[in-house]
Amino acid sequence: MPKKVKKVCLVTISLAKGGVERSVAQLSHMLDDLGHKVHIVPLNDAVDYEYSGQLFNLGKYKTADNNFLKRLLRFRKLRAYLVKNRFDFIIDHRPKNDLKREKFYLRYVYKGFRKIYVVHSSHPTMYLTDTSQNAQQVYQNNFATVAVSKYIEQENLIKKGITNAQTIYNAVDFNREISSDPFPASLQNKKYLLAYGRIDDEVKDFSFLMDAYQASEVWKKNFYLVILGDGKDKDVLLQKATQMPCGQNILFLPFTNQPFKVVSKSHFVTLTSKFEGFPMVLAESLSLGIPVVSLDIVSGPSEIVKNKQNGLLVKERNPQAFGDAIKLMTENQDLYNHCKNQAKSSVAHLSKEQIARQWDQLISM
């Protein structure tokens, strides 16, 4: 019996800059490869990542004077698009931090459609999982609610009474072609540890990373710290670097939607966020054979990093403790080689093929 093709609409804030947005683009490829009909609706006019399927860029209709009436007209355009295309599923990846807005989506924009909401962050207010009442109003009547980590499934959803919750991890592409990715001349012949992502210090805490790098003293041996990305706090971090003894060894590079050659040539990749969902920088780095050093924060890292097997997992948010881990990974060659050798195999279960099968099973139920 031939497989039934599903018509699926992915709704996202954008297709630019962040790990969530990259995972949405990845999902579009996976569903398209399986033969499903994929549409993508970004709410903002920002498209950096390659995607598969048909794009309805709702952000094109956003103007500088984004008043209530114009927002309402955009909602009507979205509703009309959904009704016209008669989607089997809407897979919604937006943050959900306003209960009134979410009720409007449920009662008007998405009315009559089967919905799958994807929860990408463990921070309870970002997805209205701060109380059982909020969570149940938003998620309980979905066809399914997908968490990107086991922690989110158990702590943010099931404990709040969401009975349709399940975990599907974000996927990584082991067959990614990186030969054409840019590699900055400023990094030629340099040894460096890397952090990459949106530069929002309240979440990613690059300030802490810089302090830990300072404490590690690996900069005295010409190990550089590279911070790759753009965001609202970049100028503040640039200024901070000028005031640090290690500052000349901290290099800031602009955002690129093709960061993987820079990743693949790093000594290891770091993560110092205050919270995450499923941090793609760790999974992507390991898939390229690059070990990682991460804080053991809520949600994500402990489901990816096995301490002293594929990287280091630091329990305490303390610059000296994290600095010691940085130093250990640069000085202990046996440990480093072991982690490097284990890196790819440790995330084999996150391959596009395996994660695609889970999504296919879900929407074929």
Mean pLDDT taken over the chain: 96
Whether 181 and 262 have beta carbons less than 8 Å apart is answered as yes
Q: Confirm whether 7-171+351-363 and 185-346 share one CATH topology.
A: yes
User: CA-CA distance, 88 to 115, in Å (whole number)?
Assistant: 9
pLDDT band at 33 (very low <50, low <70, confident <90, very high): very high
pLDDT band at 214 (very low <50, low <70, confident <90, very high): very high
User: CA-CA distance, 288 to 290, in Å (whole number)?
Assistant: 6
What 8-state DSSP symbol labels residue 182? -
User: CA-CA distance, 83 to 104, in Å (whole number)?
Assistant: 16
pLDDT one-digit tens code per residue, 41-70: 999 999 999 999 999 999 999 988 888 899
Structure tokens at 71: 């927002």
pLDDT band at 86 (very low <50, low <70, confident <90, very high): very high
pLDDT band at 365 (very low <50, low <70, confident <90, very high): confident
pLDDT at 2: 58
Structure tokens at 348: 């084999």
CATH of domain 7-171+351-363: 3.40.50.2000
Cβ-count burial of 172 within 10 angstroms (0-12 exposed, 13-18 middle, 19+ buried)?
buried
> What mean pLDDT comes out for the span 251-265?
95
Superfamily of domain covering 185-346: Glycogen Phosphorylase B; (3.40.50.2000)
> What mean pLDDT comes out for the span 259-273?
97
> What mean pLDDT comes out for the span 137-162?
97
What 8-state DSSP symbol labels residue 347? T
pLDDT at 66: 82
> What mean pLDDT comes out for the span 86-113?
97
User: CA-CA distance, 162 to 135, in Å (whole number)?
Assistant: 7
Domain range annotation of the chain: 7-171+351-363, 185-346
Flag whether pLDDT at 18 surpasses 90.
Answer: no
> What mean pLDDT comes out for the span 131-153?
97
Whether 327 and 302 have beta carbons less than 8 Å apart is answered as no
> What mean pLDDT comes out for the span 72-87?
97
∠ CA 256-260-264, nearest 5°, is 140
User: CA-CA distance, 128 to 135, in Å (whole number)?
Assistant: 6
Whether 175 and 260 have beta carbons less than 8 Å apart is answered as no
Question: What pTM, to 2 d.p., does this model score?
Answer: 0.94
